Amino acid sequence: MDTTLDTTSFILSEMLPEHYPQVQEIYTLGIATQNATLEVKAPDWEEWDSKYMRSCRLVALTGQGELAGWAGLTAVSGRCVYRGVAENSVYIHPTYKGKGIGRQLLQRLVALSEQEGIWTLQAGILKENEASIKLHQQCGFRVVGMRERLGQLNGQWRDICLMERRSNSVGL
């Protein structure tokens, strides 16, 4: 499976275990915004590794080898009837936001998901994260609904915009 793609100034590549310290840092920076996730702490490598599908993990690397962003998929259920449904995560280092890296990562993640037989991708995005909602719409996701007061972050109820993308080639 070829997972490397040249872009203007970044290379998309398969995520390797040695990338995790930078992935964890970017995830922690996302947590700090309080608009990227309801999580309050980035997991250690073992927990993260057990959660994310090994075949659908990507990083965006600069020419200097710095990690500018990452993307990955998690299965939504262990039940066999949902084997083709996954939830996506996309995180960009604040230094590199607005440079199209998120779109490149998400588009490549969609392609990888279809190679793995995934027919539905879903995303749960905090409603205040308008940039992520827009990115997902640009990559073929649609808003399914708003899940009100789904979870709390620092004692405050938060609403989650539920989005999905159905494959045009898998699961038809």
Q: Residue 134: what pLDDT?
A: 97
- Mean pLDDT along residues 48-57: 96
CA distance 56 to 111: 10
Region 36-65: mean pLDDT is: 95
Q: What is the pLDDT of residue 80?
A: 86
Strands across the sheet containing 156-166: 5-6, 10-14, 52-62, 67-75, 85-92, 120-126, 156-166, 142-153
Does the pLDDT value for residue 4 go beyond 80? no
Domains (range + CATH), the chain:
5-121 (3.40.630.30)
- Overall average pLDDT of the 89-95 stretch: 97
Three-state DSSP state, 137 = helix
Give CA–CA dist 145/83, Å, rounded.
22
Percentage of residues in the chain with pLDDT exceeding 90?
A: 87
Q: What is the mean pLDDT of the chain?
A: 93
pLDDT higher than threshold 70 for residue 1: no
- Cα 73 from Cα 56, distance rounded (Å): 6
pLDDT tens for 6-26 read 345 899 999 999 999 999 999
Residue 152 — very low, low, confident or very high, per pLDDT cuts 50/70/90?
very high
pLDDT given at position 8: 54
Entry pTM: 0.91
What is the pLDDT, as a whole number, of residue 126?
97
- The three-class DSSP label of residue 68 is strand
Contacts of 142 (CB under 8 A, 6+ apart): 163, 164, 165
